[in-house]
Amino acid sequence: MALKIDIFPCLSDNYGFLVRDEASGKVACIDTPEASTIIARAEALGWRIDTILNTHWHGDHGGGNAEVKAHFGCDIYGPAEVAEHWPLDHVLKPGDVFQLGETALDVIDLGGHTHGIIGYLDRAGGNVFVADCLFPLGCGRMFEGTPQQFWASLSRLAALPGDTIIWSAHEYTLANLKFAESLGETETLKARGERIRQMREAGQFTVPSTVAEEIATNPFLVYPLREKDVGAQAAKFAEVRAMKDVFK
């Protein structure tokens, strides 16, 4: 049976995710950006959160851990870097598999935004939870990692099947679109941009997207992937990231 995914806004531009294994009824919360909103959402759905799955240590991803745990009595899993800021019950590392009922979630290395950030891949269902590694038409800021590390993470995502659904943790898409258009507009980007603007005008989320969409239009993939070797790709990624860092 499938994984049921509920996405909802938190804070100013975060997304929260509740995921339910339909076979067992087990529920996990991917990060805890806003505890009160997460608790209310779970109760409205009639879901009891069994597990918190953290991706990285930033406050808008793990800041609600304690309150959600206190309310539901759930265990908290995440990378070692989270344990330096908030208590974890269990540490996860890339290569591990977290079993949510009958759904296997592969723990993948997404280092770059922070050193130890991880993602969760539902390989059977074609879903990947990427936190702040990759956004529609964008990627996270490189606060701790290196260009080589970050590019390896993006390459890992780009290698997934094109129809894999990418669940990103923020609604940054209009700003990302503006930057992407400044680098040169293809017909594919123009068409996607029109859809994105219509969606936002209608109050719709632009998350999720797909691997194929990002490979075709995301400048943090488009331009590096034109290079022939990994070193040149990482260098091009660093160049594009530096441009975005100062883009107004």
Q: What is the tens place of the pLDDT at every residue in 179-214?
A: 999 999 899 999 999 999 999 999 999 999 999 999
SS3 32: coil
Written as six digits, the tokens of 110 are 């997404």
* pLDDT tens digits, one per residue of 127-165: 999 999 999 999 999 999 999 999 999 999 999 999 999
Nearest to 5 by CA among 208, 171, 172, 170: 208
Domains, the chain: 3-245 (3.60.15.10)
Residue 1 scores a pLDDT above 70: no
Report yes or no: 132 and 140 within 8 Å, Cβ to Cβ.
yes
CA 91, CA 4: separation in Å to the nearest integer?
25
* pLDDT tens digits, one per residue of 209-237: 999 999 999 999 999 999 999 999 999 99
Written as six digits, the tokens of 39 are 């608790």
> pTM of the entire structure?
0.97
DSSP string, 77-144: EE-HHHHTTS--SEE--TT-EEEETTEEEEEEE-TTSSSS-EEEEETTTTEEEEETSEETTEE---SS
Residue 241 scores a pLDDT above 70: yes
Residue 81 scores a pLDDT above 80: yes
Which residue spans within the chain are E strands per DSSP? 3-10, 14-21, 27-30, 51-53, 75-78, 90-91, 97-100, 103-109, 118-122, 127-131, 134-135, 138-139, 165-168, 209-210
Q: pLDDT confidence of 248, banded at 50, 70, 90?
A: confident
Nearest to 191 by CA among 244, 199, 183: 199
87 preceded by a cis bond (ω within 30 of 0)? no
